[in-house]
Amino acid sequence: MAVAGSVVVLALFVVSLFAPWLAPYDPSAIDLDRVLMPPSGDHWLGTDPLGRDVLSRMSWGARISLKVGFIATGIAILIGAVLGAMAGYYGGWTDALIMRFVDIMLCFPAFFLILAVIAVLEPSIWNIMLIIGVTGWMGITRLVRADFISLKERDFVLAARVIGASDLRIIFVHILPNAMASILVAATLGVAGAILTESALSFLGIGVQPPTPSWGNILTAGKDNIDIAWWLSLYPGLAILVTVLGYNLLGEGLRDALDPRLR
């Protein structure tokens, strides 16, 4: 499973990195003489309602998806790792305060919380990445907290305290690197979730705004022309499906490889 996921993730990297050379046309070039053309030798995945090449737009959309996935997940990991480390290491009222805040955040459906925030802010790719990141850290906080509760009683942590290491040094130099396996798995799965959330927001028209290509807003054009342009729904939908499945398979494979309890 990990190998299959790795192949998909690597393919996505290659497509996003070489999008300017792989895309046969300008993704924003409008050609009203080629509106809603089916897949052909000139346009392998057809054209959209403005005559733009779908393959070119999907190639550039892969770059958008990758950027959103990594930056949003990075924000979530940064917030979650810091709060989880503080809760697990210090315990007591610090732990209680942080975990009650986590419980409160988990009471709100994440997608509707994102919609509420976007209603206040201007929908843009940077706001989307920030919002997905700041609403997706709760699970990582719980995961890091559990690892810290277990690791802080180990002999190497006691030895660090004996030689006078500060709390910050113990947390970030001694304990956190030993919790990176769990964080890496969570990050891999988080990228898939961020890509799916961005696609859903773009499909609703409040994510990445046209003319910037995104798999979600290509799907929106497919919804409006589902009876006469099946390719606008099929190909972006398959791209989202395969990408999310690839990251999930990679995350599951990493968990099996890095977690000794599963061996």
| Contacts with 147 (C-beta within 8 Å, 6 or more apart), sequence order | 84, 88, 175, 178, 179, 182
End-to-end alpha carbon distance in the chain: 16
In-domain check, residue 225:
yes
| Inside any domain, residue 25 | no
With respect to residue 48, please indicate whether it lies within any of the assigned structural domains: no
Residue with the two structure tokens 């099996």? 256
CB–CB of 23/55 below 8 Å? yes
- pLDDT for the residue numbered 259: 65
**Residue 186 half-sphere exposure, CB side, CA atoms within 13 Å?**
24
Classify residue 69: in a domain, yes or no.
Answer: yes
The token pair that represents 262 in the structure block: 């599963």
Asked if residue 143 belongs to a domain, the reply is yes
Per-residue pLDDT 10s for the chain (263 aa) are: 788 889 999 999 999 889 888 888 989 888 888 898 999 988 999 999 999 999 999 999 998 888 999 999 999 999 999 999 999 999 899 999 999 999 998 888 878 888 888 778 777 788 888 889 988 899 999 999 999 998 988 899 999 999 988 999 999 889 988 888 889 989 998 999 999 998 888 888 888 888 888 898 888 888 888 888 899 999 999 999 999 999 999 988 888 877 655 55
Q: Residue 62: which CATH number?
A: 1.10.3720.10
Range 51-56, long-range pairs (CB < 8 A, 24+ positions):
52/25, 52/27, 52/28, 53/23, 53/24, 53/25, 53/27, 53/29, 54/218, 54/231, 54/232, 54/235, 54/236, 55/23, 55/24, 55/25, 56/23, 56/24, 56/25, 56/26, 56/27, 56/213
Pair 7, 15: CB distance under 8 Å: no
Domain assignment present for 203: yes
The most distant pair of C-alpha atoms in the chain lies apart, rounded to whole Å, by: 76
Domain contains 38: no
Q: Which is nearest to 222 in space by CA: 20, 21, 48? A: 48
Sign of the CA dihedral with 137 first, then 16, 180, and 254 last: positive
In a domain, 75, yes or no: yes
Residue range(s) defining the domain that contains residue 240: 2-13+55-262
Give the per-residue pLDDT at 93: 94
Q: How many domains does the chain have?
A: 1
**Full-prediction pTM beyond 0.85?**
yes
> Could you tell me which of 14, 81, 54 has the C-alpha nearest to residue 235?
54
Neighbours of 186 (CB within 10 A): 23
